[in-house]
Amino acid sequence: MMLRIKRVPTVVSNYQKDEGEDAARRGGGCGRNCLQKCCIPGAKLPLYTFKRAEEIPGDKCVLEHDDNQAPVAFLDSLLLGQWEDRMQRGLFRYDVTACETKVIPGRCGFMAQLNEGRHLKKRPTEFRVDKVLQPFDGNKFNFTKVGQEEVLFQFDASEDGEVHFFPDAPVDADSSPSVVAINVSPIEYGHVLLIPRILECLPQRIDRESFLLALYMAIEAGNPYFRLGYNSLGAFATINHLHFQVNIWCPVIYMISEATAAFIYEILTIILNHDVFFYKSSAIGLLFGCAIPD
């Protein structure tokens, strides 16, 4: 039997019900201060630029971070600082920090969270889930329809080989910047979204360039509790617009994330010996070289 999700009206922002038609008369563009052609001209957002692959020495680990090059503390001051600012401004649909959370006793050390807000207030899915790959549909909700106040900063490669931070940089619509925005229905403190080339309106389908962008963000974070993931349509992704989920899982580091290269070379032996068979999650191990292109 084919699985279907009931279609629902598009909700474009947290303020849609409050603003209505009066918003368009109060300001320029559509009145929502969104990221579409109606509101982009003249828009400015913070910009963080990172080193390109060719500027990162080949003998350094792929996830090694150079603190001396950072003009601002990427994780603590920029990402989490901006996230807390949006929380104080009431941009989230609920207070995720008030959710009851605990570590489940046992060998796996899983975390359990009672998040009623995400179940009751999360944006509903607007598409069928019978296909993993679907074309982008601009009529449905996508990230160009969010308010600019939900965007924390632009995140793109540097043009001069140095890391920079510009607190108030113009949004170049022609270059389609990648941005980091809040997830208005968060599952944890600091939950944000990395949206590659947002104005290109790419469907939820990972590619080489977007994967590299995600790696660069992990490098800039430089923190063992930093988690960056991708979920496709049919795997609980509710928006068909290319994005990655970003979380800070503190203070828990799951043992599966600490697997060494031996796990790759001896995968069959490990499974037969039941060393990881008890773990209730499938995993794919990837062995990287010392340079980003590897």
The catalytic site residues sit at 243
- How far is it, in rounded angstroms, from Cα 282 to Cα 52? 32
Please report how many Cα atoms fall inside a 13 Å half-sphere around the Cα of residue 196, on the Cβ side.
Answer: 23
Strand-pair partners of 165: 48
Angle at 127 between CA 123 and CA 133, to 5 degrees: 120
Kindly compute the dihedral angle of the four CA atoms of residues 231, 237, 242, 244, in this order, to the nearest 10 degrees: -50
Angle at 89 (CA atoms; ends 88, 93), nearest 5 degrees = 90
Pairing of strands 44-50, 111-114: unpaired
126-139 burial: b if 16+ Cβ within 10 Å, else e: bbebeeeebeeeee
Nearest-angstrom CA–CA distance, 102 and 245: 22
The whole-angstrom separation of Cα 216 and Cα 196 is: 12
